[in-house]
Amino acid sequence: MENKRPLILISNDDGYQSKGLSCLVEMIREFGRIIVCAPDSARSGFSCAFSATSPLRIELKSRQNNVEIWACNGTPVDCVKIALDQICKGEKPDMVIGGINHGDNASVNTHYSGTMGVVREGCMKYIPSVAFSLCDHSPDADFSKMAPFVKYITKRVLGEKLPKGICLNVNFPVTKHYKGIKACRMAKGTWGNEVVKCRHPHGYDYYWMTGEYTNDEPSAEDTDSWTISHGYVAVTPTRIDITDYQMIEHLKSWEQP
């Protein structure tokens, strides 16, 4: 038992059949046993949502060479919860990995991202957890150049662990050659023009969510957005405790109405 190889739990928000997930499995299978439990279809933008009111199902899709792949009809967070409870059967994974996401999860996208939902869920269970994302939304994006960095970061996290309550959000640009890794912070940014109004053939209005992202501090070199736009791999340490400690001091003046 003590010689068991590390157990790595993988999920994503693009679905169990996505290329990014398959590429991730191939990159890291050398490090241990792998359980994939991922949505049965795409669940982008699901954040930390879980299914409070709808029943869930899971289905084993394949099992070979220390890689098990399960599909679940729930959210990315559901996938992690149900995998930990039902598939890992009491064994706590050594690591949770989200991705590889088709599309970046930098800046405020951290909050919307289902891939980061996976990783925040792992982190809330005190498991070292890392999200990998590539700035390319296409279903057949080329993830191959990421391999040495994905392996390096996975190996370091398996070896060193991560502090409790901190997970990593790793974003890769699309570039011919990665200049290296940079530790960085979330950029401040805003989404605008997010709603497109359309007319249904039956005569009523409906709306699509879309949007344009604006980096509100484009010249800040310590941000994830700057880092990926300059050819580096951006590693952003992300907290579960999202209290603003400085503001607590100010709010003490509110305690006596």
| Residues of the binding site for a divalent metal cation | 13-14, 44, 101
Angle at the Cα of 162 from the Cα atoms of 76 and 168, rounded to 5 degrees: 45
The correct pick among 98, 117, 122, 128 for binding a copy of itself (CB under 8 A) is 117
Q: What's the CA gap between 193 and 82, in Å, rounded? A: 36
Taking residues 166 to 195 in sequence order and writing x for each that binds a copy of itself by CB under 8 A, - otherwise, the string is x-------------xxxxxxx-x-xx-xxx
The string of DSSP letters for 129-175 reads EEEEEES---TT---GGGHHHHHHHHHHHHHH---TTEEEEEEE---
Question: Two tokens at 137?
Answer: 């939304």
Least separation in angstroms between residue 255's CB and a copy of itself is 5
The torsion of the CA quartet 227, 158, 165, 14, rounded to 10 degrees, works out to 60
Residue 2 CB, shortest distance to a copy of itself, in Å, is: 25
Residue position matching structure tokens 């994006």 = 141
- Name the segment binding a copy of itself (CB under 8 A); options: 28-36, 62-70, 139-147, 242-250: 242-250
Pairing mode, if any, of strands 58-64 and 67-72? antiparallel
14 or 94: whose CB is closer to a copy of itself?
A: 14
The site string for a copy of itself over 1-40 (x = CB under 8 A, - otherwise) reads ----------------------------------------
Q: Does position 102 bind a copy of itself by CB under 8 A?
A: no
Nearer CB in complex with a copy of itself: 58/134: 58
